[in-house]
Amino acid sequence: MKGTQKLFGSVAVLPLLCCALLATTACRSMAQAPPAPQATSTLTVRITGIRNATGNLRVTLRRDGNVVDQRVVEIDAKALICQVVFEKLPQGTYAVSVIHDENMNGKLDFDSMGMPVEGYGFSNNPEKRMGPPNPEETTFPLKQAPLTTEIKLIYWP
């Protein structure tokens, strides 16, 4: 009986040792394998329709509804056009919003009637109307090829 216990005891340990050896080897090879490269792209946003060179532009880039990048950009006084380049962006669905912050207080200002007194714009240039556009109107897919999009600022009289 003692010989049988010894034999079965060592046979039962053998599969456990094999599993541990395989798991260790798999973990080592996973740790050594380089991560798969993620496809990235470049997005160029061209902003037009700027009424003057006072203040600056605040450009916000969103991906899947979350802010990815925010930039404050100086306005070219001669051309009244601005360009912002976002590099190494992962593929996905993006949206861009722009504010012409003429008084440089960091926000879009409104008059007493709730009308914006500074310029603003969104990707895909949704039509001018009261209230912000639906998020679906401003989103666009960014794939591996570089993309250039133009946003024309809106000003209320």
**Across 47-54, average pLDDT:** 98
Show me where the domains of the chain are located.
1-33, 40-152
pLDDT band per the 50, 70, 90 thresholds, residue 16:
very low
What pLDDT sits at residue 34?
Answer: 67
Determine how many CB atoms are found less than 10 A away from the CB of residue 43. Answer: 20
What pLDDT sits at residue 70?
Answer: 98
Fold of the domain built from segment(s) 40-152: Immunoglobulin-like (2.60.40)
Q: Which of 96, 110, 100, 41 is nearest to 75 (CA)?
A: 100
Q: Model pTM? A: 0.76
